[in-house]
Amino acid sequence: MLAINPFGGFDASFTLPPTMNLGYAMVELEAAGVAEKVEGSRFAHQFQVQEFRRPEFEVTARTETEGPLFVGDYAKVSVAANYFAGGGLQNAEVKWNVSNGSPGGPVMVKVDTVTTRVSRGVLMLQASIG
Q: What is the pTM of this model?
A: 0.43
pLDDT at residue 48 tops 70: yes
> 14: which residues sit within 8 A by CB, 6+ positions away?
none
pLDDT at residue 125 tops 80: no
Per-residue pLDDT tens digits for 63-117: 888 878 777 777 777 778 889 888 888 877 777 666 655 556 555 555 555 544 5
Per-residue pLDDT tens digits for 19-45: 999 999 999 988 776 666 666 778 899
pLDDT of residue 41: 77
CA–CA gap between residue 126 and residue 119 (Å, rounded): 16
pLDDT of residue 104: 60
pLDDT of residue 34: 65
Are 64 and 78 in contact by the 8 Å Cβ rule? The answer is: yes
